[in-house]
Amino acid sequence: MNVGLEHYLVVSVLLFCLGLVGVIVRRNLLVIYMSLELMLNAANLALVAFSRYTDSLDGQVFVFFIITVAAAEVSVGLALIVALYRKRQNAHVEDLTTLKL
Amino acid sequence: MQDAFFYIFAFLTLVFGFLVIANPFSRNPVTSAMFLVLTIVSLAGLFVLLHAFFLAAVQILVYAGAVMVLFLFVIMMLDLKEEERRKIRKLGVVGGLISAGAILAIFLSSLLKREALLGAVQSPAVEGGTVPLAKLLFTQYLLPFEIVSVLLLVAIVGVVLLSKKDLK
């Protein structure tokens, strides 16, 4: 069976689900952040596959922008985590309950 | 030949992705980060198979290079210890599996109705080399390109502000 658009989409959606499970199940803030990166990469893969199989480069330009924005997002998010860790000395989501009623 | 490479890279991507979120041998965030690097590299392999050569290079340079080094720096700086085993929340695991299963179900049901995909080109000819991508980026997408540079500047200023010692 020839590899087509569907194959790439299946890989992409499986990777996305892995990331989603990671975000919900894991409790270390940094690992949650890595799972978010997994989800972003899954979306990138789907976009590149669509771009290839619809014969237009627009999807790849979009992925280029996503990678740039993800880099900015990671730097700001990690700075937030560092600032949080300085105040609380911990990176566990279960111990951060200031907003809990 | 290409198909074999697709299956190899897809398998590697999924296995490494699984090891990022649930490593049975170690709960150290550093191992997760290392497996994330491997996931990203095998995704770059998939990009090459999709003829997105420029993006494959950018993926390795920016993600596996810059972003993951940033992650490892922060892990090192925070000096995180091996995560002690806590009780696994049943609710969290069940909720995560249900939501992931729901997304999978939606995707599969739309994949089985193939109408949307019938427009796909059977023998694609698009090439994602540097030249065609740059032509598009500097003509049609020039304004978003400039806006992204402003966004990076904003991120730099924000990070500097956030990492000051006496955060108000």
Mutation choice for B interface testing from A9, A14, A92 by most B CBs within 10 A:
A14
Inter-CA distances, B65 with A51, B47, B88, B101, Å: 25, 17, 33, 33
**Where are the strands (E) in A22-89, listed by range?**
none
Q: Is A96 on the interface with B (CB under 8 A)?
A: no
**pLDDT over 70 at B153, yes or no:** yes
pTM (2 d.p.): 0.89
Q: Which two tokens stand for residue A35?
A: 């799972």
pLDDT by residue for chain A (101 residues), tens only, comes to: 677 888 899 999 999 999 999 998 888 888 899 999 999 999 999 999 988 888 888 889 999 999 999 999 999 999 998 888 888 777 777 777 777 77
Closest by Cβ to B133, choosing from A5, A61, A94 = A61
Rounded-to-integer distance, Cα A36 and Cα A44, Å: 13
A positions 59-88 inside 8 Å of B (CB)? 60-61, 63-65, 67-76, 78-83, 85-87
Report CB contact under 8 Å: B36, A38.
yes
As for the ipTM of the complex, it is 0.90
Report CB contact under 8 Å: B124, A55.
yes
